[in-house]
Amino acid sequence: MDRASRTPGRGRRVWAGALVSALALTLAGAGQASAADVNNAKNAGFESGLSNWTCSANSGTTVSSPVHGGTAALRATPSGQDNARCSQTVAVKPNSTYRLSGWVQGGYAYLGVTGTGGTDVSTWTPDSGSWKQLSTSFTTGSSTTSVTVYTHGWYGQSAYYVDDVSVLGPDGGGGGDQEPTVPAVPGGLAVSGTTSSSVSLTWNAVSGATGYTVYRDGTKVTAVTGTSATVTGLAAATSYSFRVAATNAAGESATSAAVTARTADGGDGGGRDLPRHAVTGYWQNFNNGAAVQKISDVPDQYDIIAVAFADATATPGAVTFNLDTAGLNGYTVDQFKADVRAKQAAGKKVIISVGGEKGTVAVNDSASATNFANSVYALMQEYGFDGVDIDLENGLNATYMTQALRSLSAKAGPSMILTMAPQTIDMQSTSGSYFRTALNVKDILTVVNMQYYNSGSMLGCDGKVYSQGSVDFLTALACIQLEGGLDPSQVGLGLPASTRGAGSGYVSPSVVNNALDCLTKGTNCGTFKPSRTYPDLRGAMTWSTNWDATAGNAWSNAVGPHVHNLP
C-alpha cells in the first residue's frame, strides 16, 4: 500500500545510542549460579508493598494486576522530568559474581546496579505487552559489601511494571527472599470448549507457579500465566491429547495427567461471524493528500477496516502504533478507541495492518516471531483491534511468519481476524513465501486480498499473460489462488478506490463487479472464463477508504452493495 507522502514517524530512536550501550553491557556473560547461592534482594516480589524500595518523585506503587508471580508487582510511572527510578540497597560479598534479573512489562524498562566496585551494568527492553525477563551479571570489588539495584523507565513514557527481582549469588549477610522451588504438578485439567480448529482448556492453580506450559501430543504449543488456554490451529474432526505443566524461576514441573479432546466438524478460515461476502477497506493513519477521516467517517459498506499502519520498533519483529493526531486534524487516541468500539458494535471488524509499501517489519527467527506476536496482541488489547492484516511488501519468511501468526492466534483465540494483502507477484506460485504462509495458516485465515494493481502483466492460471486493468486480469489471477489451495471464502479482489490511489491498475467499479460475477456466477466474464464458479468468494478490498472518500465514495457505493448481494 502506498504511503509515500506519510509524515515521518516520531519514534524513540533519539535514545538509540544510550540503549545500544545498555544492551552491550547485557551481553557480558551471565554468571553461573551455584547450589549455595541465594537471592539477596528483599521484598523482591513487592508482596510487602514498597518495603525496602525507594522510588523517585513518588513515582512507584504496588498493584495486584498485572503480576508475574504472587499477588503484587511494582508499577512506576515516569513523568517529563522523572524516569521513575526505584532502587534498593543490597548486601553482597566482595570479589563475588551475582546474577541480576527481574520481570518487566509495559513501557520502556531498565534494570541495573551501581556501586559494584567493578563494572556497573544495566539492561533494558522497549515496550512489552507481556512479562519479559531482563537479566545481566556483575562482579563486586575487593571491598564492596553493598550495591544499589535499580529499575527505571523513560521520561514521559508509559508506566512500567516490575516483579520478582533477583540478586542471585553468595549470601551477603543482609537477608533476602528465598529462591522458589519447582512447583507441583497441576491438577484438574479439563476441556472447557471446542471449535473446528481450537480446544479450550482449564486447570487448577498451583502455589508458587508463575506460569503454565501446555503440551499437545507431547509438543509444547503455548505458555500462559493464567489457568486457562485456547490451543488453535487444529484440524477439524480430529482428536488431540493435552497435558499442562507449572513453571517458575526454579523450573518446570512434570506434566499433568492427559485429557483428550476432539475438534468439531467445520470449514476453513477465521472470522465466521463476518458476512458471507465482505468488503475490506484500508484507513490511512496519515495525510498524503487523500481525504482525512476518523474511523467513524468510514462508510457502512466496509465490513473490515484495516488501520494502516503499525510501525516497526527497535526490537526485531516488534511493532507499535502511534495515532497521527497532528496529521489527522487533532483526532485523539480516546476518540479513535471510541470510534473503533462503535464500529464493532455495528458489526464491523477493525484490524491493525502491518507493513505497507515502506514497512520494515522483519520476522526472520523465533525471537522476532515471538516479539511480533506479543506486540500485535498488545495492540489488540490496547486499542480493541479484532485482528491483524499482513501487508509486508518487502518479503517475508514463511517459517517464522507462520510461527508468529500461530502464536498470536493462540493468544487472541479463534475469533481473531487474519487478513493478508500480497502483491500479485507474491501469489503467482504456491512455492512463494507469501502463498506458503497463507496455506500454512489456512485454518485461521480470514481472507487474502491480493493487490491487483501496480503489477504490469502477469500469468493467469491458464498459463497465459494478462495485463492489469481488465476483467481477465482479475479473474485469471484469482483463479491461481482458488485452485492453489485457498478456500473461496478466503479470496478477495484488492483494487484502488480511485486513479490517485495507486500508480497503475485502477479499474472502474463496474469492472470489479463484473469480475465478481464471473468468479461467483460465471457471468460478465471477459475472454477468460474459469472452469467452475466459486459462489463462496469472500469479496473485495480497496486502498483506501480515504481515496474512496476523495472520489465521493464512488467505489464503496458501487462495489459494496454488489458484494453484499452476491449469491
Q: Which residues are the active-site residues?
A: 393
Instruction: Report d(CA 419, CA 396) in Å as an integer.
Output: 15
Is 5 exposed, middle or buried (CB count within 10 Å of its CB: 0-12, 13-18, 19+)? exposed
Helix (H) or strand (E) holding 323: none
Q: What Rg do the C-alpha atoms of the chain give, in angstroms? A: 26
Q: Is 394 helix (H, G, I), strand (E, B) or coil?
A: coil
Other residues' Cβ atoms within 10 Å of the Cβ of residue 404 = 28
- Show the DSSP H helices in 70-211 as ranges: none
Q: Which residues of 443-458 are buried (b: 16+ CB within 10 A; e: fewer)?
A: bbbbbbbbbbbbbeeb
Strand residues in 263-339 grouped as ranges (E): 278-284, 304-312, 319-320
Integer Cα distance of 393 and 47 in angstroms: 48
Q: Which DSSP symbol is given to 82?
A: B
Question: How far apart, in whole angstroms, are the C-alpha atoms of residue 543 and residue 210?
Answer: 45
CB atoms inside a 10 Å sphere around CB 543: 31
Alpha helix (H) ranges present in 413-455? 433-440
Query: Which candidate, 167, 52, 162, 65, places its Cα nearest to that of 109?
Result: 162
d(CA 152, CA 112): 9
Kind of pairing between the strands at 417-420 and 54-55: unpaired
**Which contacts of 53-59 are long-range, i.e. CB under 8 A and separated by 24 or more positions?**
53/86, 53/87, 53/88, 54/86, 54/87, 54/88, 55/84, 55/85, 55/86, 55/87, 56/82, 56/83, 56/84, 56/85, 56/86, 56/152, 57/82, 57/84, 59/84, 59/85, 59/86
For 11-163, where are the alpha helices, taking DSSP H only?
16-26
Are 102 and 163 a contacting pair, CB within 8 Å? yes
Question: 443 — phi, psi (to 5°)?
Answer: -70, -15
